[in-house]
């Protein structure tokens, strides 16, 4: 049984670091596109057999060291009553974005087994089908990222609507963020009960906020969700791309077992800055370097591993893999990690 990921999360000795890729079950795989041709995205998410089929694809095809359950961060707002579409070429869209405090007041609280049972069923089925081959990761979106998506309704460059809501209705914004922290924390606890062995919180839009605003509107709720999730006993990974300036504060506030870093943070700097904290580190190759020739991918991946060192480290990209990356290039990344041996890793 391959438990490299679990050992790395606990900063125990490993023969080599584990490797997986954010968005590893996705459109760059022809086998994913074949399933997607038969079912739309939300049907795949809501049908455990389909979700598990694509969850296992990167494990079978690329031999990554972890499976991440196929779902989306936006299922939590959907469970709170927000109508969601994910259309080809458009991306996710809420039909009625939150515009006023009255819209927030109408949201439902989430009972995970009732409204998110399809993902919990998918986790139970995935654990069975994995048969211990590699650990299974569950995940959820962090409150600030979910709230901004719920207010914007779709992707955005400026976050003007989301920030306007904070500016005009700070008390109601805090109320929404608190409800999301509870919902997300409870969902992650339920995911662990259903078989997730590690869980990751994505605060994908953390980088939109000024430091003082991140400290006011994002970090406390990220920490609330992470601490609630941690009570379930599985390691928690916190990933807040764009907030590399706050690594120490994130480690301190969340109590996370693993801190994810994007490519804007130098590996050595991440290690130095987190040295006083009891955390492992995950990241951080810029996914666009997977467009380079495989030899260059392998070279950059080895340089990343040399810089992070072997222990308490999970090799990953600094963001999700992009849909038009050749599978052979994703494989070059994974293989470079699988072949790497550090002199200190096993110590």
Cβ within 8 Å of residue 158, ≥6 positions away = none
Tell me if 133 contacts ligand CP3 by CB under 6 A: no
Q: Which stretch binds ligand CP3 (CB under 6 A): 20-28, 116-124, 126-134, 279-287?
A: 20-28
**Shortest Å, Cβ 102 to ligand CP3:** 26
- Known catalytic membership, residue 121: no
Site map (CB under 6 A) of ligand CP3, residues 143-182, x = contact: ------------x---------------------------
| Residue indicated by tokens 């943070």 | 265
The answer to whether the bond into 284 is cis (omega within 30° of 0) is yes
Least distance to ligand CP3, CB of residue 295, Å: 26
Query: From start to end of the chain, where are the E strands?
Result: 67-68, 84-87, 91-94, 136-141, 198-202, 236-239, 258-260, 280-285, 313-317
In whole angstroms, what separates CA 130 from the centre of its chain?
A: 20
If you ran DSSP here, which 8-state letter would residue 108 be given?
A: P
Is 36 assigned a catalytic role? yes
Q: Is 72 helix (H, G, I), strand (E, B) or coil?
A: coil
Active site residue 27: yes
- Of 6, 8, 19, 22, the one binding ligand CP3 (CB under 6 A) is 22
Q: Kindly state the smallest distance separating residue 137's Cβ from ligand CP3, in Å.
A: 8
Residue 268 Cβ vs ligand CP3, minimum distance, rounded to whole Å: 25
Spatial CB neighbours of 165, under 8 Å, sequence gap ≥ 6? 98, 151, 172, 173
Q: Which of 23, 133, 215, 331 is catalytic?
A: 23
Decide whether 26 or 310 has the Cβ nearer to ligand CP3: 26
> Does residue 72 carry a catalytic annotation?
yes
Q: Which is nearer to ligand CP3, 203 or 257 (CB)?
A: 203
The length of the chain in residues reads 347
Q: Which of 3, 11, 27, 299 is catalytic?
A: 27
Q: What whole-number distance in Å separates Cα of residue 175 and Cα of residue 237?
A: 25
User: One symbol per residue from 57 to 76: x for binding ligand CP3 (CB under 6 A), - otherwise; what is it?
Assistant: -----------x-x-xxx--
Q: CB–CB of 161/97 below 8 Å?
A: yes
* Burial tier of 63 (Cβ tally within 10 Å: 0-12, 13-18, 19+): middle
For residue 204, state whether it binds ligand CP3 (rule: CB under 6 A). Answer: yes
Among this protein's residues, is 46 annotated catalytic? no
How far apart are alpha carbons 207 and 212 in whole angstroms?
12
Which residues here bind ligand CP3, judged by CB under 6 A?
A: 22-27, 36, 41, 68, 70, 72-74, 86, 91-92, 139, 155, 202, 204, 320
Active-site residue set: 23, 27, 36, 72, 149
């Amino acid at each position: 049984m391959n438990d490299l990921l679990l050992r790395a999360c606990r900063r125990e000795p490993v023969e080599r670091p584990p490797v997986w890729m954010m968005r590893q079950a996705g459109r760059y795989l022809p086998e994913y596109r074949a399933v997607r041709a038969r079912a739309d995205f939300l049907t795949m998410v809501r049908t455990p057999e389909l979700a598990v089929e694509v969850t296992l694809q990167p494990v079978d095809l690329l031999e990554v060291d972890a499976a991440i359950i196929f779902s989306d961060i936006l299922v939590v707002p959907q469970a709170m009553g927000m109508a969601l579409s994910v259309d080809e070429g458009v991306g996710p869209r809420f039909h009625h974005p939150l515009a006023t405090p009255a819209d927030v007041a109408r949201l439902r609280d989430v009972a995970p087994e009732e409204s998110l049972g399809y993902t919990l069923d998918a986790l139970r089925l995935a654990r069975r089908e994995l048969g211990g081959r590699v650990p299974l990761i569950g995940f959820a979106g962090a409150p600030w990222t979910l709230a901004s998506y719920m207010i914007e309704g779709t992707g955005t460059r400026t976050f003007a609507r989301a920030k306007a809501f904070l500016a005009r209705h700070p008390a109601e914004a805090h109320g929404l963020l608190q409800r999301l922290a509870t919902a997300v924390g409870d969902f992650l606890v339920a995911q662990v009960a259903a078989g997730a062995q590690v869980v990751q919180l994505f605060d994908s839009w953390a980088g939109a906020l000024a430091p003082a605003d991140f400290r006011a509107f994002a970090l406390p709720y990220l920490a609330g969700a992470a601490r609630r999730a941690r009570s379930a006993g599985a390691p928690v990974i916190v990933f807040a791309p764009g907030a590399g300036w706050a690594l120490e504060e994130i480690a301190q506030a969340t109590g996370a077992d693993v801190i994810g870093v994007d490519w804007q943070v130098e590996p050595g700097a991440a290690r130095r800055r987190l040295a006083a904290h009891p955390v492992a580190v995950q990241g951080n190759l810029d996914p666009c370097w997977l467009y380079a020739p495989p030899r260059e991918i392998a070279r950059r991946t080895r340089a990343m591993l040399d810089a992070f060192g072997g222990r308490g480290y999970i090799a990953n990209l600094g963001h999700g893999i992009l849909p038009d990356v050749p599978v052979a290039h994703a494989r070059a990344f994974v293989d470079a990690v699988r072949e790497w041996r550090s002199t200190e890793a096993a110590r």
